[in-house]
Amino acid sequence: MDVQLNSPVPVHSFDEWRAAARALLERQVAPEAVRWLTASDVPAVPAAPLLAAPDVRISRTLMHMLQTAACCRTPNRWAFLYRVLWRWQHGERAVLAPQDADGARLRAMVAAVQRELDAMLVGIRFRERRPDAGAPRFVAWCEPGHEVLPQLARHFAARMRRVTWMIATPEASVMWDGATLHSTGALLRGPFPAETGGWLGVFSPARLDAELIDPSAAPPASPDAPATLLACRRCALWQNATQPVPGAGPARARIMLVGEQPGDQEDLAGQPFVGPAGKLLGSALAQAGLERRAIYLTNAVKHFKWEARGKRRMHKTPAQREIEACAYWLERELALVQPRVVVALGNTALKALSGNPRAALKQMLGTPVQHQGRWIVAVYHPAYVLRVPGDEARARAFAVLADGLREAKRLAS
Ligand code: URA
């Protein structure tokens, strides 16, 4: 972004703002000296070459908050976000605190966007079109109050995998061709007409979770059961998490791996085991001769439980009542996937799978047991293996994990 001192800064997107903000910070331009122009003030122009990026390092949490708040349709948002970044970069960590005026506003913006996103994710309705070469199979129309289309798009791209769809809003549309997201301006004038010959049916995310695992999945039996994981309020953990992280993997995997709960990176990505523990798990699976894509990966608890330490979000072990609240989802996954072997990665998973709050991992390591018609194999959690002090002891813990996975492979075949 070629930023001229004393000239207004045009911004059309978060990426443009970020590039401009970095350049301004590098030149020590104070927030009061910048005039930001928004999309409605200036037409979009091809992106100018970036200045060499200055050394602006911010925490993942702050980046996530800025990115989320940037979707909030509120006046002067770019100027406000730059002020937050400026204060943070100048050592004012209180800028994120709820007691700080800017911190409170930032949090309110993030919460407004998150609420909107939650409502959209639960409420959006996809209509299935008659097959037509090149056209997306499902189409949805929505009118979000904030600019949440990119997040919605990323969510459904991960969710619907190879199934093609388009989401249209009054300002923009995004299409998923099964591999890549394509954004355009407003394509449709929506809302779509009532159900007529052109549409095959309506697909709501309330059914999406279940149907993507198994098309014959029944809706939740009890009337007070949440319709989707996204709407889950069975315990309080949803309040501080970015999103729930559902399990992922083949609908009928023979082996299911159950971890404890999503970590910082999983919470942001919405997928299990994508952080450091996931990398180590990948190596252990490879060592055991198992393909990660053949396995269903999930967690005993679906929301990230954490506490702030400085600017970092530190993992906190879930309480028994949270494990019990979330057992509802684990049981649904077990019923749908019907794995022959379930691997408990660590103590929390073992408690959840055995239904025994006093289950002790050490006593079960290396000894598969039959439980409710399937094998349970207990192994160390990969995050524990990462933390074991000393190379030799760590290698031994890794071997226990890999051996358990090898045993699971044997039992599943
Ligand atoms: N640890 C877990 O238990 N699960 C994850 O998904 C990531 C880290």
Render pLDDT for 257-276 as a digit per residue (tens, 0 to 9).
999 999 998 888 788 999 99
How many angstroms separate the alpha carbon of residue 301 from the centre of ligand 1?
A: 9
- Cα Rg, the chain, nearest whole Å: 24
CB of 259 within 6 A of ligand 1: the answer is yes
| H or E stretch at 117 | helix 101-123
Token pair recorded at residue 400: 């226990």
In this structure, how many other beta carbons lie within 10 angstroms of the beta carbon of residue 354? 17
Return the pLDDT at 259.
98
pLDDT in tens, 37-85: 876 655 444 433 333 445 667 888 899 899 999 999 888 999 999 999 9
Residue range 144-152: average pLDDT?
Answer: 88
Q: Relative to the CA of 260, which ligand 1 atom is closest?
A: 3
Mean pLDDT of all residues belonging to the chain: 83
CB of 300 within 6 A of ligand 1: the answer is no
CB of 260 within 6 A of ligand 1: the answer is yes
Is 326 within 8 Å of 275 (Cβ atoms)?
no
**Least trusted range by pLDDT, from 126-135, 244-253, 255-264, 383-392:** 126-135
How many angstroms separate the alpha carbon of residue 272 from the centre of ligand 1?
A: 6
How many angstroms separate the alpha carbon of residue 381 from the centre of ligand 1?
A: 9
How many angstroms separate the alpha carbon of residue 410 from the centre of ligand 1?
A: 24
CB of 266 within 6 A of ligand 1: the answer is yes
C-alpha span between 54 and 74 (Å, rounded) = 28
Residue range 11-24: average pLDDT?
Answer: 89
Higher pLDDT: 227 or 170? It is 170
Higher pLDDT: 48 or 285? It is 285
Return the pLDDT at 3.
54
CB of 261 within 6 A of ligand 1: the answer is yes
Q: Is the pLDDT of residue 320 over 90?
A: yes
CB of 269 within 6 A of ligand 1: the answer is no
Which residues, 6 or more positions from 53, have their beta carbon under 8 angstroms from its beta carbon? 22
- Positive or negative CA dihedral for 122, 123, 124, 128? positive
C-alpha span between 197 and 155 (Å, rounded) = 29
Percent of the chain with pLDDT strictly greater than 90: 46
CB of 299 within 6 A of ligand 1: the answer is yes
CB of 277 within 6 A of ligand 1: the answer is yes
Phi, psi of 25 (to 5 degrees): -65, -40
Nearest to 234 by CA among 116, 317, 329: 329
pTM of the complete model:
0.55
Is 306 within 8 Å of 264 (Cβ atoms)?
yes
Q: Relative to the CA of 272, which ligand 1 atom is closest?
A: 6
CB of 298 within 6 A of ligand 1: the answer is no
What 3-state DSSP class applies to 108? helix
Mutate which of 266, 298, 330 for ligand 1? The one with the most ligand atoms within 8 Å of its CB, which is 266
How many angstroms separate the alpha carbon of residue 41 from the centre of ligand 1?
A: 45
CB of 306 within 6 A of ligand 1: the answer is no
Q: How far is CA 97 from each of CA 84, 105, 264, rounded to the nearest angstrom?
A: 11, 10, 20
Half-sphere exposure for 88 (CA within 13 Å, toward CB): 25
How many angstroms separate the alpha carbon of residue 258 from the centre of ligand 1?
A: 9
Q: How, if at all, do strands 341-345 and 255-259 pair?
A: parallel
Residue range 357-383: average pLDDT?
Answer: 94
Q: Is the pLDDT of residue 211 over 50?
A: no
CB of 262 within 6 A of ligand 1: the answer is yes
Cis peptide before 191 (omega within 30 of 0): yes
C-alpha span between 308 and 98 (Å, rounded) = 13
Q: Is the pLDDT of residue 292 over 50?
A: yes
| H or E stretch at 94 | none
